[in-house]
Amino acid sequence: MKKRLILLGPPGAGKGTVGGRLGETLELPLVSSGDLLRENLKKGTEAGIKAKQYMEKGELVPDEIVIAMIEEELSKPSCDRGAILDGFPRTLSQAQMLDGLFECGDDVKVVYLKADDDFLVNRLSKRRVCDGCGKIYHLVNLPPEKEGLCDVCGGKLVQRNDDREEIIRRRLNVYRKMTAPLIEYYGKRNVLHIVPGDGKLEDTLDEIRRIVKW
């Protein structure tokens, strides 16, 4: 039996931040489609090169690229007990592919982190990420101890290319069109839990831990 926690929500709702913190306590790996794509981009793999044009514009990378990447990741021994999924699935086809991987008895929970667009645009414009290890910061809410440097690895903190207002708004539109329908998809299966994504991080984490109980 595997534990699968799917973090669903618009850009900036906190999927990566919450997923990283929960991963530590639940002892499950965080599988982030966005991070995997950015890693591929950095390494210059074929998938990364193909994905670049879509990511820069704030559009979704074609399903076949993302699905192959996630399938490979979930088949690794590190995911034997299950995984926390951040940013996947994002389309109906991706959700159906994931359903095909689940086995009878797997414990599947979906947490939808909810927040409104203006809040998210404002929050994302203050996000910084470590160039080295990928740890996520916020200039006001979750700042590093030393300005511009990662607390964990000392790497440089940078702004993501897709965190410009114009691109953030496009990502939000894409989210509404392509990903928001999954709220109904999982709602019908009674595995969906709605949690505010705009509250204090510790409150959000406590609420998810109460839901998950692993």
Q: Which of 81, 96, 94, 99 is nearest to 3 (CA)?
A: 81
Among 79, 92, 121, 201, binds ligand AP5 (CB under 6 A): 201
8 A C-beta contact, residue 204 and residue 116: no
> What tokens appear for 200 in the block?
């204090």
- Cis, bond preceding 89 (omega within 30 deg of 0): yes
x/- mask, ligand AP5, residues 150-169, rule CB under 6 A, reads: ------------x-------
Q: Which residue has the tokens 């440089």?
A: 156
Report d(CA 2, CA 29) in Å as an integer: 12
Is 12 near ligand AP5 (CB under 6 A)? Answer: yes
Among 4, 6, 16, 47, binds ligand AP5 (CB under 6 A): 16
Q: What is the smallest separation between the CB atom of 77 and ligand AP5, expressed in angstroms? A: 23
Checking DSSP bridges between strand 157-158 and strand 3-8, what pairing results, if any?
A: unpaired
CA 49 to chain centre: 21
> What tokens appear for 145 in the block?
């101890």
Report d(CA 82, CA 1) in Å as an integer: 8
Q: How many residues bind ligand AP5 (CB under 6 A)?
A: 37
Q: Which of 2, 11, 154 is nearest to 78 (CA)?
A: 2
Among 5, 6, 8, 13, binds ligand AP5 (CB under 6 A): 13
Is 138 near ligand AP5 (CB under 6 A)? Answer: yes
Q: What is the smallest separation between the CB atom of 69 and ligand AP5, expressed in angstroms? A: 9
Among 29, 48, 82, 87, binds ligand AP5 (CB under 6 A): 87
Is 186 near ligand AP5 (CB under 6 A)? Answer: no
Q: Output the CA–CA distances (angstroms, integers) from residue 117 to 170, 172, 193, in the order listed.
A: 11, 7, 20
Determine phi and psi for 104, rounding to 5 degrees.
-55, 130
Is 144 near ligand AP5 (CB under 6 A)? Answer: no
Name which of residues 31 to 60 contact ligand AP5 (CB under 6 A): 33-34, 37, 54-55, 58-60
Q: What is the smallest separation between the CB atom of 105 and ligand AP5, expressed in angstroms? A: 25
Is 96 near ligand AP5 (CB under 6 A)? Answer: no
Q: Which residues bind ligand AP5 (CB under 6 A)?
A: 9, 11-17, 33-34, 37, 54-55, 58-61, 66, 86-88, 90, 94, 123-124, 127, 136-138, 141-142, 162, 171, 199-201, 204
